[in-house]
Structure 1
Amino acid sequence: MRDTDYKGINTLIRTYELRLLKQEDFERLIKADSLKAALDFLKTSDYEFDTEEVLHNKDFNGFLITHLARVYSELYEVAPQPELLDLFTLRYSYHNLKVLLKECFLEQNHSELLIPIGRLSIESLRNLVETKESNAAHPIMAEAVKSVVEDYEESGRIEAVTVYMDTYYLRHLRAISDGLNNETITRITDLIIDMYNLTTVVRSRKQDKPRSHLYALLSSAGSISKQELIDESINGPVAVIRKLYGGQSYSSELEKVISSDANTVQTLKLDKLQADLIHDVVSSGLYEAFGPMPLLGYVYAKETEVTNLRLLLVGKDNAINEDILRERVRQVYGS
């Protein structure tokens, strides 16, 4: 795929970007004096919902996901490389597989947890779970389902569903990234996997889990050795950051998530840092005329927008202080 093959869609993306909420829009939402005021303002944007219904059921995620699903559906129809969109939608597919597998094993119905986003439909994923075969699914995804089913049939461990799906998701993400063969996409993939591994180490140590726990949870698809992460974890997360992440371009930013007593790592700040780092990488291609970066940037911007709206609406519903909301909101694309 040549960069010039994106020329047509990049022109379209520039028009889509005009519909994105700006920094001043989010500031206005933060300053809204009530949930209704925030919804009234949001009603003037590209989002469709019934204000009274949302005020009654507080189902913010419902209309946000519906909006996001529509955006992805439109983009899949025009994207020169649908794999680029898979970088973002893959996590929804693996989430859905977790739900469907648990439904199957526990003989329960949790259809309300399914998210209609991804190249494969919910029905296709359901068929994969039921038959353990699929001509449409990527071989890594099919292998993931088969491995989970075999493990459950042998051990009966329902918790293994999440462990398997998370590690296979990251393997699948790496396979897509390698196939696209783009330096920026590789950097983003490295960030996602390496920060996932670091967060896993931090949380495992906080819960006082044994090192063996990390063998199952950590991904081998990152740029930092899984074995080195496990070996160094005995010295604590701060040691992991300074020894194994010290050579990363964002090492100085990682220092900011270490508490003042240099003893612990603040997980909320770590989660937000990952989003900010990816934002910086994606924003580097903001004004490229050719290639995949404008599409990548728009999709990331839309994902961030939905994340921020979910956070702000929940915050308004719970009367959370403006300063706290402002601190938690992720960077807006182009700002």
Structure 2
Amino acid sequence: MDNGYVNARVRGMYSRLLDKKALSNLILKPDISSLITALEETPYREDLERALVGKPGLYGIEEALRQNLIRTIKKIAEFLQGERGERYILIFSSRWDVHNLKTILRGKRIKVPTMQIRENLVPAGEFDESLLSELLKQADVKGVIDLLSAWEVAYAIPLNQAFSEYNAHGDLFILENALDRYYYEKALSLVSGRSVEEHQIRDIIGTEIDLINIKSLLMMFRDHVDPLDAEPMLLDGGKIFNRKKLKVLLELGSAESLVEYLEDTPFRFLADLRSTEENMLKISAYQHLLDEFLIRQAVRLYRGDPLSVTVVIGYLWAKYTEVMNLRIIARCKNALISPEDMEAEMVYV
């Protein structure tokens, strides 16, 4: 299929995304009921009508958003099936396989009811509803990994390699880190060429790896993790920080020193947050800014070469951000959080 045709279809889809004014109007709705009424005047209407039949209020909104995102990703994957851009979509859709595995493993670890785990799954990658249902039937973390092994699912390899360490320490971060490491190594291998498209997507992946490492370092410093234990948990493949530079960051020893060090990098914006909120910062405040930076970098791909498949990648990030913003609005509205506090959690692109 011609890239120009695909991108024209995607640009039509992009035009239906909710802008900042529309999102701000949703924030001002007084309750969940009025929020649903307003959303029924958006492209989410059909998904809402189906979801609200079985799930009222907040749960209906979240189910509608989930189904809409799944359908969108699959629709674009169909556009590019058999085309050179298919592997780029695979990078994006595979994120949801990792998300789903982490969600199931976390749920099994702390014995969350199956239905509650299911509501947080997004079968938009390799794992469809039936496969995820079988994983949900497993009694524990080991059962999930064993079933993946029996099916010869590639993610079983890193999970099996990390399981003995997880079993010894009981820290689920060990398994999640193994999944991340496998995913990003695979993603980078799919864009190892010299084309402009591959370079742009590789930059986004590298930036995301840098952000994950920065987040990990902030939490490790907060929790006083020994550098020798912390280093194996950091990911390779970052755009700015290679293994040597990561060791330098580890030696800084505190969040304050890390933020100061980053003032000479594209992540200098973290220092602005420090200067305005002084010593009252939570790690989540830094994490929000880092997520916002990554999203804006990724959505920028949409505004690139109109004949490049990166337009599709930029759109998918914008769509993901819209769904994330709508979930924030719905959850905050349900929890009676003020519009001002709600606004602070939003990411506009």
Question: Is TM > 0.5 for Structure 1 vs Structure 2?
Answer: yes
TM-score normalised by length of structure 1:
0.82
Q: SS in structure 1 opposite 2:268?
A: helix
* Equivalent residue pairs, number: 323
Q: Give the drift of 1:189.
A: 1.1
Q: Greater CA deviation, 301-310 or 89-98?
A: 89-98
Structure 2 counterparts to residues 36-47 of structure 1, below 5 A = 36-47=33-44
In the TM superposition, what whole-angstrom CA distance separates every residue of 1:173-225 from its partner, at most 9, and x where no partner exists? 33334368622212211221101110111111112222233124211221303
- Decide which of 136, 143, 146 is 2:157's aligned counterpart: 143
**Partner letter of residue 162 of structure 1?**
E
Q: Deviations over 1:275-319 (max 9, x none)?
A: 332343332542632112221121011100000000001111122
Unpaired runs of at least 5, structure 1: none
2:268 corresponds to: 252
Aligned-partner Cα distance in 2 for 1:151–1:104: 18
Secondary structure, counterpart of 1:46 in structure 2? coil
CA shift for structure 1 position 55: 4.1
**Which segment is superposed worse, 49-58 or 81-90?**
49-58
1:331 paired residue number: 348
Q: TM-score, normalised by structure 2?
A: 0.79
Whether the 8 Å contact between 1:194 and 1:222 is mirrored in structure 2 is yes
* Structure 2 unmatched runs, 5+: 136-143
User: Does the 8 Å CA contact 1:132/1:145 hold for their aligned counterparts?
Assistant: no
Call closer, same or farther: CA 1:29–1:65 in 2, change over 3 Å: same
Q: CA deviation at 1:28?
A: 0.8
Select 2:258's aligned residue among 233, 240, 246. 240
Counterparts of 1:47-126 in structure 2, within 5 Å, are 47=44, 48-50=47-49, 51=52, 54-56=55-57, 58-79=59-80, 80=83, 81-99=85-103, 110=114, 112-114=116-118, 115=121, 116-121=123-128, 123=130
In the TM superposition, what are the counterparts of 1:167-246 in structure 2 within 5 Å? 167-178=181-192, 182-223=198-239, 224-235=241-252, 236-243=254-261, 245-246=262-263
Distance in 2 (alpha carbons) for counterparts of 1:276 and 1:5 = 32
Q: Sequence identity, in percent?
A: 17
The alpha carbon displacement at 1:227 in A equals 4.7
How much does 1:53 deviate?
5.6
1:164 pairs, out of 162, 178, 198, with: 178
Structure 1 Cα separation of the partners of residues 215 and 182 of structure 2? 17
Report the AA paired with residue 325 of structure 1.
Answer: M
Distance 2:251 2:177 in 1: 21
Question: 2: CA distance between counterparts of 1:42 and 1:198?
Answer: 36
Q: Is the 8 A contact 2:303 2:311 kept in 1?
A: yes
RMSD: 3.3
- How far is 1:41 from its partner? 0.5
User: Which residue of structure 2 aligns with residue 32 of structure 1?
Assistant: 29
Could you tell me how far apart the structure 2 residues matched to 1:28 and 1:176 are? 41
C-alpha distance in structure 2 between counterparts of 1:149 and 1:122, whole Å:
25
Contact kept, 8 Å, 1:167 with 1:217, in 2: the verdict is: no
Choose the corresponding residue for 1:13, options 7, 10, 23.
10
Q: Which amino acid aligns with 1:33?
A: P
